[in-house]
Homo-oligomer: A and B are copies of this chain.
Amino acid sequence: MSDSKKPIKPEIPRKAIYRLSIYMRCLTRLQGNGIETISSEALAKAAGVKSTQLRKDLTYFGQFGTRGLGYDVEQLQAMISNLLGTSSLQPVILVGVGNLGSALLTYRGFEQEGFEVIAAFDQIPEAARKRTRFKEIRPMADMDEIVQRAGVRMAILAVPNLVAQEVANQLVKAGIVGILNFAPIMLEVPEDVTVNNVNLAIELENLSYFIQT
């Protein structure tokens, strides 16, 4: 599970924001199939939610449909993409090129979704280079300069637990305001910084609970 602790706009449920991403993927697929208009009923089904929820989610941000008709696929897609801030390519850095970090660098899936990993950082860049083909591996000391020069606002944190807080502090100091944290600890960050936690082991453990006979 992932988990952020930033309700900037407290009126809007955090889960609603996650669902926007899902709606957007569905819309992109529909667009690819040449479908121009869709009802909340049909889109909700594709997204795996109730149609009332979809409509409620959208109205947090405005009115985008036409009664009696439905939603314009392209227009709604553009609107959501814009809301999420993914309508332009966003630079991201990755910190910690160990086991998981190098795995994430290998996975080029972020690029397809509007994020570009412009640099990776590791305490021992030479060792890190042996684990990946990714070229831009830098020592931690270069972080400030690169973040500032490229105007990076988001970071993927994949360092060992013991140093996670310390590195998070460094990230914040460099100007990062969004952290995707893979370390299984609660990071303490200033109010204006958002942390989303992802932990694959916890997801497996959670499954493990539910599949018990």
A residues with CB within 8 A of B = 1-4, 6, 8, 15, 17-18, 20-22, 24-25, 47-48, 83-86, 90, 92, 99-100, 102-104, 106-110, 112-115, 153-154, 156, 177-180, 184, 186, 194, 196, 198-212
27 pairs, A vs B, C-beta closer than 8 Å = A1-B18, A4-B207, A4-B210, A6-B210, A17-B209, A21-B205, A22-B184, A48-B186, A85-B209, A99-B106, A99-B107, A99-B108, A100-B107, A103-B107, A104-B200, A107-B200, A109-B200, A113-B205, A114-B205, A154-B204, A154-B208, A154-B211, A156-B204, A179-B207, A194-B207, A194-B211, A198-B200
B86 touches A208 (CB 8 A): yes
A171 to B206 CA separation, bound complex (whole angstroms):
19
A179 to B67 CA separation, bound complex (whole angstroms):
39
Q: What are the residues of chain B within 8 A of A180 when measuring CB–CB?
A: 200, 203-204, 207
Nearest residue, chain B, Cβ from A155? B207
Q: What are the residues of chain B within 8 A of A104 when measuring CB–CB?
A: 103, 200
How far does the Cβ of A135 sit from chain B's closest Cβ, in whole Å?
A: 17
Q: Which one of A21, A48, A85, A113 has the highest number of Cβ atoms from chain B below 10 Å of its Cβ?
A: A21
A206 touches B99 (CB 8 A): no
Nearest residue, chain B, Cβ from A15? B1
A84 touches B209 (CB 8 A): yes
Q: What are the residues of chain B within 8 A of A84 when measuring CB–CB?
A: 205-206, 208-209
Q: What are the residues of chain B within 8 A of A153 when measuring CB–CB?
A: 211
Q: What are the residues of chain B within 8 A of A18 when measuring CB–CB?
A: 1, 202, 206
Nearest residue, chain B, Cβ from A5? B48
A86 to B208 CA separation, bound complex (whole angstroms):
7
A103 to B20 CA separation, bound complex (whole angstroms):
27
One of B6, B99, B186 near A109 (C-beta < 8 A): B99
The 3 closest A-B pairs by CB, nearest first: A48-B186, A103-B103, A1-B2
